[in-house]
Structure 1
Amino acid sequence: MDACGERFVIVSGDARAEVDEVGAALAGVVVGGRVRVEPHPPTIRPPKGSGAVLAPWPNRVRDGRWSDRGTVRQLALTEPAAGNAIHGLLRHVPWRLVDRAGDRVTLTAVAAVQPGWPEPVRVTVTYTVGGGGLAVDTEVENLGAAPVPFGLGFHPYLRVGDVPADELELTLAARTALPLRAGIPEGPATPLQRPFSGTPLAGLDLDDAFGGCVPDDRDDRVRHRVTAPDGGGTELWADRSFGWVQVFTPGDFPRSGPDGAVAPSRAIAVEPMTCPPDALNSGTDLIVLAPGEPEVLRWGVTATD
């Protein structure tokens, strides 16, 4: 067994995805013969958060400290260099297999009561392939006795086959930008002066949060997309709960080439989030989970070739 525990492979038609037992991390998606979500090798700590489930909060909590109904709580500083807590509590723990079939896998884990976190929250994620893509259903439930704030995010890196990231164009459903300093908000969100609509990625260096994500009129889904010069594209869709998105374009993502050699490459993470960075402090768009009342949130990836 690898460090990531078991790796689950699900297939339907021309769609294939891989999911790790540890962290329930999405370890790659291929649709129509092209890679759509960046793969990573089996590891307990996927590079740069690749494919991670971000719960019970996405992104950062300033100084790891937040106030819960008048009680100051201190989370572990999991981003020690910056002194913040980052990306929740479930990235590096084994998830329990609930169900498995050829085209889907369901995993579950509990964000347990611990220093800085007051109530147990169960998170159950089902990955399903088919119909030209991947769908991800997440059920969240407060197992405790008191309401608890909650946020959810995911960390896929989008691709269009082997097209270099600098040759892609980016379209976002976002209407606002949140100013950040070292990943922490330093002011309110403001209208985007230049929306991302077929914006070339070449020359852009992003680790930025965007809000006001507007659902599409077709089916009430938020849609973000990367598009290649040949017109092929990969679209990330989400239900209207995901009103925020973080876009991250590192230049040193370790990508494996056709010969198996690993080299640093530009990559683009398009991270759907239900709330912005440091939402445990700002309260912005937090979901309040009442005990025993599950909620389901949904997103996915499709090919637009």
Structure 2
Amino acid sequence: MQPTGEQFDLVAGPTRAVVTEVGAGLRALDVDGRARVETFDADATPPMGAGGVLVPWPNRIAGAAYTWRGQEYRLEATEAARGNAIHGLLRRRPWRVVDRAGDSVRLAADVDAASGWPGPLHVETTYAASPTGLAVTHALTNTGEGDVPAGVGTHPYLRVGDVPPGDCTLTVAADRVVDTDERMIPVAVRPVAPDEDLRGGRRVGDLALDTCFGAAPGPDGVLGVLTAPDGGATTLWADAAFGWVMVFTPDDLAGRGRAVAVEPMTCPADAANSGTDLRVLAPGETWTVSWGIEGS
């Protein structure tokens, strides 16, 4: 078996996508013959979280511990160097197929109470290809008898075909920035300074970011755009639930050089401790959020 399990190919006109069984991740997306996300081989582990679904929390939980309704919970410190728990519980688990068509797939997995999370969650992620791109919907259902906290994030690295990301311009609809401590845990949220503002576009090669921003998309929901020098562009949109976005520009992604991740998140790092935009689901409640990528 591949490290990411079965591969699900989706086709809709000029759009081609590959979704993985393990982690329900996005391994590839082409629109009009141009790659729109960084891909990786089917026999490889996703590099630096590429394409991951981050549930029931995105980003980090400080010290891999938090308190919920007076009870302390401990998680595996999956970011060992900083002692944090990072990117949820489902990235390395097999998901099961609920529904499958030529242009879509719906996968499901469960977070159980024994995992270090307060209660059971049933999670379904649907990828649906269209002639212009890919829409992704996450539905989280509280299947327990008490309230359960939840957050959602994803980890796409954007591309515009074969153009090196460092040569592209990145625009992000964000008006606030999160200051963090040495563990990458938030300590303050403030307005972006002029040299941090990505709303006017910045060359990716000039950026060195592993930074959370407060999202401020317009009515079209566009959160981030990566534009190549030839005018081609890859656009990431998200619904209003995604009030935060992580921008990560590693110098080298699996030997391919500079990359840029634009990661929509419903809550910032350490929301399990701070409560910031942490969604609380009542027993039987379902929470649905959507985002997607378009190519032009």
TM-score band, normalised by shorter chain: over 0.9
The count of corresponding residues between Structure 1 and Structure 2 is: 293
What is the match of residue 258 of structure 1?
A: none
2:39 maps to a residue whose letter is: P
Counterpart pick for 2:280 among 269, 284, 288: 288
Q: Is the 1:78–1:84 contact (alpha carbons within 8 Å) kept by the matching residues of 2? A: yes
* 1:9-48 map, 5 Å: 9-43=9-43, 45-48=45-48
Counterpart pick for 1:201 among 185, 193, 204: 204
2:260 maps to 1:268:
yes
2:88 maps to a residue whose letter is: G
Distance 1:150 1:2, change over 3 A: same
Distance 1:232 1:47, change over 3 A: same
Give the secondary-structure state (helix, strand or coil) at the position aligned to 2:174.
coil
TM-score (ref. length: structure 2)? 0.96
Q: Distance in 2 between matches of 1:43 and 1:183?
A: 32
Counterpart pick for 1:299 among 283, 291, 294: 291
Q: Is the 2:180–2:188 contact (alpha carbons within 8 Å) kept by the matching residues of 1? A: no
Quote how far apart the aligned CAs of 1:112 are. Answer: 1.3
Quote how far apart the aligned CAs of 1:182 are. Answer: 4.1
Q: Distance in 2 between matches of 1:58 and 1:43?
A: 25
Distance 1:186 1:89, change over 3 A: closer
2:3 maps to 1:3:
yes
* 1:69-148 map, 5 Å: 69-148=69-148
Q: Distance in 2 between matches of 1:114 and 1:267?
A: 36
Give the secondary-structure state (helix, strand or coil) at the position aligned to 1:189.
strand
Consecutive unaligned residues of structure 2, counting only runs of 5 or more, are none
Post-superposition CA distance 1:103-127 (Å, at most 9, x none): 0011000011125212011110000
Quote how far apart the aligned CAs of 1:222 are. Answer: 4.0
Consecutive unaligned residues of structure 1, counting only runs of 5 or more, are 255-262
What is the match of residue 214 of structure 1?
A: 216
Distance 1:193 1:294, change over 3 A: same
What is the match of residue 225 of structure 2?
A: 225
Counterpart pick for 1:278 among 245, 270, 273: 270
Post-superposition CA distance 1:12-51 (Å, at most 9, x none): 0000100110000100100011000111112573110010
Post-superposition CA distance 1:198-233 (Å, at most 9, x none): 11112211100001x22323x4x2421111111111
Residue range with higher mean Cα deviation, 193-202 or 228-237: 193-202
Q: Distance in 1 between matches of 2:231 and 2:44?
A: 36
TM-score (ref. length: structure 1)? 0.93
Identical amino acids, percent of aligned pairs: 49
